[in-house]
């Protein structure tokens, strides 16, 4: 038997709760969270849904309520019929089709089109509302970078979650070496499972991706594997600002940093931090309320353009 807890609130309140969920390092991963519009004709009325395969305890409800910065909305608990609750949590999660990529949950089929790379990623791992939009933007920007002639021999995906963006980078630059990291230890087996399901190879060497558990750049393998031609970080605005000097030092002169996970209203603050660290904007995209930024480190002797 599975259960669902639902909270109804305005869009900005639900989105803030989803961001808090993504930043909750001690979250119980048996509780799957998603946010969505209640109806197409009411775009500002949203719901947060939490699925689990047990009756919600007081601690479970407190954890869900704790995602809301102010007073939490009323939590509605319901028992669901016998079903696969993970599959239920994936219903209505549309595939991402951006750039040369098609990313879908297991309930959808691959497109099997020439020139399109299919990835299958369970929604319970990667498709919170903000994550869906920022992932799509990153896939579009990576495709744009490739078409602009960016060459990558060494890449890092910081805060990888599922491994998807690292996998996408290796698809575009198949001879590159890659390393992915996340602060959450549960991501290690998740990345391994997703690599196996998508024909990606883990480990060290060209066309392979190593995986480490680390906060920011604080891991010996991350230091040893650098400097990088491309560093990807789809995390949150606060950590992006804090890590700007570390990211700048980790890329080669002329190298690229791809940032996501920041709201458009947070973009000026993030860009200012990276400008101070010696990176300038190469391109930007907006997906919904979210900004995706491609920044480049100054080449040696290059004047910084404001």
User: pLDDT of 20-73, one tens digit each?
Assistant: 887 777 788 778 888 877 877 777 889 988 888 889 999 999 999 999 987 788
Which among 146, 135, 123 is positioned nearest to 194, based on CA atoms?
123
DSSP per position, 181-248: EES-TTHHHHHHHHHHHTT--BSSSTT-EEEEE-STT-SHHHHHH--EEEEEEES-HHHHHHTHHHHH
Among the listed ranges 13-17, 232-236, 301-305, which one has the minimum average pLDDT value? 301-305
Q: Are residues 64 and 146 in the same domain?
A: no
Q: Are residues 189 and 291 in the same domain?
A: yes
Q: Are residues 198 and 244 in the same domain?
A: yes
pLDDT greater at residue 25 or residue 274 = 274
- Domain assignment of residue 293, yes or no: yes
- Domain assignment of residue 201, yes or no: yes
Q: Are residues 156 and 276 in the same domain?
A: yes
Does the pLDDT of residue 192 top 70, yes or no? yes
What domain range is 57 assigned to? 2-90
Q: Are residues 29 and 75 in the same domain?
A: yes
pLDDT greater at residue 5 or residue 85 = 5
- Domain assignment of residue 153, yes or no: yes
Q: Are residues 54 and 175 in the same domain?
A: no
- Domain assignment of residue 105, yes or no: no
How far is the C-alpha of 180 from the C-alpha of 182, rounded, in Å? 7
Q: Are residues 135 and 231 in the same domain?
A: yes
Q: Which of 42, 69, 90 is the last residue of a domain?
A: 90
Average pLDDT over residues 117-146: 80
Q: Are residues 234 and 178 in the same domain?
A: yes
Strand residue runs (E) in the chain: 2-10, 32-39, 42-52, 75-80, 96-98, 101-104, 117-120, 154-158, 177-182, 209-213, 228-234, 251-263, 279-287, 290-297
- Domain assignment of residue 116, yes or no: no
> How would residue 129 be classed by pLDDT, with cut points 50, 70 and 90?
very low
> How would residue 100 be classed by pLDDT, with cut points 50, 70 and 90?
very high
Q: Are residues 285 and 148 in the same domain?
A: yes
Give the global pTM: 0.75
- Domain assignment of residue 41, yes or no: yes
In a 10 Å sphere around its CB, with 0-12 CB exposed, 13-18 middle and 19+ buried, how is residue 280 labelled?
Answer: middle
Q: What is the CATH number of the domain that holds 32?
A: 3.30.70
Altogether, the residues listed in the chain come to a count of 306
- Domain assignment of residue 113, yes or no: no
Q: CB–CB of 184/208 below 8 Å?
A: no
Q: What is the CATH number of the domain that holds 150?
A: 3.40.50.150
Counted domains in the chain = 2
């Amino acid at each position: 038997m599975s259960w669902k807890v639902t909270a109804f609130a305005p869009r900005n309140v639900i989105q803030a709760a989803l961001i808090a969920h993504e930043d909750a390092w001690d979250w119980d991963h048996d509780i799957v969270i998603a946010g969505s519009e209640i109806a197409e004709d009411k775009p500002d009325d949203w719901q947060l849904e939490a699925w689990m395969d047990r009756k919600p305890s007081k601690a479970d409800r407190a954890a869900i309520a704790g995602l809301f910065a102010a007073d939490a909305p009323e939590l509605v608990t319901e028992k669901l019929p016998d079903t696969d609750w993970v599959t239920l949590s994936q219903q209505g999660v549309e595939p991402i089709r951006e750039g040369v990529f098609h990313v879908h949950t297991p309930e959808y089929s691959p497109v099997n089109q020439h020139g399109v790379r299919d990835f299958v990623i369970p929604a319970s791992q990667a498709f919170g509302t903000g994550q869906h939009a920022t992932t799509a933007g990153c896939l579009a920007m990576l495709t744009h970078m490739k078409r602009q002639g960016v060459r990558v021999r060494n890449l890092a995906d910081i805060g990888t979650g599922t491994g998807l963006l690292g996998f996408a980078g290796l698809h575009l630059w198949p001879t590159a070496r890659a390393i992915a990291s996340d602060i959450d230890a549960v991501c290690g087996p998740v990345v391994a499972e997703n690599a196996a399901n998508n024909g990606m190879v883990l480990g060290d060497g060209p066309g392979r991706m190593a995986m480490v558990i680390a906060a920011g750049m604080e891991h010996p393998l991350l230091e040893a594997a650098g400097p990088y031609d491309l560093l990807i970080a789809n995390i949150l605005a606060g950590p992006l600002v804090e890590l700007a000097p570390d990211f700048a030092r980790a890329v080669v002169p002329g190298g690229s940093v791809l940032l996501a996970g920041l709201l458009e209203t947070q973009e000026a603050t993030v860009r200012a931090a990276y400008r101070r660290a010696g990176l300038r904007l190469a391109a930007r995209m907006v997906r919904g309320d979210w900004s995706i930024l491609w920044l480049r480190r100054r080449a040696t002797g290059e004047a910084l353009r404001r």
